[in-house]
Amino acid sequence: MEKVSVSSRATRHEARTALLLLTPALALLLLLRIIPTGVAIVESFYTSVPGSVIPPKWVGWQNYLDLFEDPGFWDSVWRTLLFAALVNPLTMVFALFLAWLLTRNVALTGVWRTLAFLPTALPLMGTTVVFGVLLRPEGVVNNLLTLAHLPTSGWFTDVDGAMAALVILSTWTAVGYWMIFLIAAIRDVPQDYYDAAMLDGAGEWRQFINVTLPLIQRQLLFVLTASTVWNFILYAPISALTKGGPQGASNFLMYDIITRYYALSSPGSALAEMTILFVLMGITVWLQFSLLNRMRSVP
């Protein structure tokens, strides 16, 4: 009985210590994320003019109804979802492949890891400018495609090419970052599991499928979730290169929200759209969790 009491006190002490250590992070999360999100949701039910002395006016669901009747809004939703559906798998596949490759016995591993991480280490706007130069209609990429007798594109100036250019840019800048997380995850897998798999005659591919992937599922889920959120709020490259064009081809939700708030002076509509973006992100992440859990339960 005394041992149980001592164990219970130790557990409570660990819980208090953990809570004490987490308090600064939780306070920042509350002040910088949760409270502003709540305020934004409440203000989405009002209409106002920035800088005006006239107080905000309650309009209920009208901001949302106006958005639902706006074809431009639905076009932004569709393009944002399409962008996330293209970028997320590409980022995950390339990051996981590089992480697996760089945990093998490859010569000059440190050099290759540095080169893979370099696009992430560079400022996003700097990378954006470089891509803007490379993907100009008369830029290096089109010149190389011409030399290879392949079709060229206007990329950021072309309706069909803008999406592809943003997908390439986003994947390029994100792969190295998420690769670092997955390298750490793979290195944490105990060597005993690989030794047992080799005794059973499993090659590199079977070890990867049957040992590595099942044991890094939590880290994969974190990377997938964080990457999804990041891709939903893409703004800087669009602002610098396309301004939502051409013909709305890159007018993703985050850029449309900023445009409504500042350029169109419609904060109520912008915050309503932001709330819808939160909901879309939540649904997408939930679907990803459900899919991965279902795949995990399949024998």
Q: What's the pLDDT score for residue 166?
A: 92
Which tokens hold the place of 144?
């190389």
Q: What's the pLDDT score for residue 275?
A: 92
Asked whether 167 and 252 are in contact (CB, 8 A), the reply is no
Q: What's the pLDDT score for residue 299?
A: 46
Asked whether 84 and 284 are in contact (CB, 8 A), the reply is yes
Q: What's the pLDDT score for residue 77?
A: 92
- Span 6-55, pLDDT tens digits: 566 667 777 788 788 888 888 888 888 888 888 888 888 988 877 667 78
Rounded to whole angstroms, the Cα distance separating 17 from 281 reads 33
CA distances from 162 to 34, 155, 214, 236, 246 (A): 34, 5, 37, 14, 8
Rounded to whole angstroms, the Cα distance separating 79 from 164 reads 12
E strands, 98-213, in order: none
Q: What's the pLDDT score for residue 217?
A: 84
Phi-psi region of 104 (alpha: psi -120 to 50; beta: other; left: phi over 0): beta
Phi-psi region of 203 (alpha: psi -120 to 50; beta: other; left: phi over 0): beta
Mean pLDDT, 10 residues at a time, the chain of 299 residues: 57 78 86 85 84 80 91 91 90 90 75 75 82 86 88 84 90 89 88 83 82 85 85 88 86 91 86 91 82 58
Q: Which residue is associated with the tokens 């809570």?
A: 19
Q: What's the pLDDT score for residue 297?
A: 54
Rounded to whole angstroms, the Cα distance separating 67 from 73 reads 6
- H or E element at residue 100: helix 71-101
CB atoms within 10 A of CB 247: 11
Which tokens hold the place of 185?
């995850």
Q: How many residues does the chain have?
A: 299
- Span 258-296, pLDDT tens digits: 998 888 888 888 999 999 998 988 888 888 777 766 655
Q: What's the pLDDT score for residue 108?
A: 67
Q: What's the pLDDT score for residue 78?
A: 92
Rounded to whole angstroms, the Cα distance separating 213 from 265 reads 48
Of 91, 22, 99, which Cα lies nearest the Cα of 234?
A: 91
Rounded to whole angstroms, the Cα distance separating 178 from 220 reads 9
Looking at domain 66-297, its CATH class is: mainly alpha
Burial (CB count <10 Å: 0-12, 13-18, 19+), residue 156: buried
Which tokens hold the place of 268?
């109520």
Q: What's the pLDDT score for residue 76?
A: 92
Burial (CB count <10 Å: 0-12, 13-18, 19+), residue 111: exposed
Output DSSP code: residue 53: S
What is the CA angle 29-30-31, rounded to 5? 95
